[in-house]
Structure formats: structure tokens, C-alpha cells
Amino acid sequence: MCQLSNKQDQEALQESFRQLDKNSDGKLSKQEMIEGYAKIYPEMTKEQIKAEVDRIFLAADQDGNGELDYSEWQVASINKYSILQE
């Protein structure tokens, strides 16, 4: 998956992951994603944000542990349009 994007894209993915990972544990919780979405998309309601985060987790949380690690984040971000359509 990493080979499908260039270095600039990878750096942007890493930075966005770090920005969302507030407790710096290397994983994104639903709450971290909800808080991040609220800042990025202030026009969305809390319900819309929660629904969007739930959809992302349903599609991207491959191991089912309720968190996104960096590799899951990469796949979700690189395939964001197809994931959000599922």
C-alpha cells in the first residue's frame, strides 16, 4: 500500500495521524477521530461526525480491536473514497 503513494503523500498521512493521535499511543480511538473531525469539519453535526467515524472504523478496523493503528490508517486514507462509499 505504501508503494501506491509518493513520499509527500506518506508524510502528509503521518502528520495527519500524529495530529489525531492526541495521547501518542500509536493508535486512533473513535473519540480521537470524533474530536479531530469536529475541528476539521465544524459544519458537521455531532451525529454526522459520529456516523462518519463509525463508517470509517467499520471499513478500516481490520483487526476489530476498536482502534486504528497506522497501517489501518494508511489503507483507510489512501482508499478514503472507496471506504466512505461502502
- pLDDT tens track, the chain, 86 positions: 444 457 777 788 889 899 999 999 999 999 999 999 999 999 999 999 999 999 999 989 999 999 999 999 887 777 554 444 44
- Does the pTM surpass 0.85? The reply is no
Model pLDDT, residue 5:
58
Q: What superfamily in CATH does domain 11-85 come from?
A: EF-hand (1.10.238.10)
Cα–Cα–Cα angle for 57, 59, 60, rounded to 5 degrees: 65
* Domain extent listing, the chain: 11-85
Residues 57-66 as b or e (16 or more Cβ within 10 Å = b): bebbbeeeee
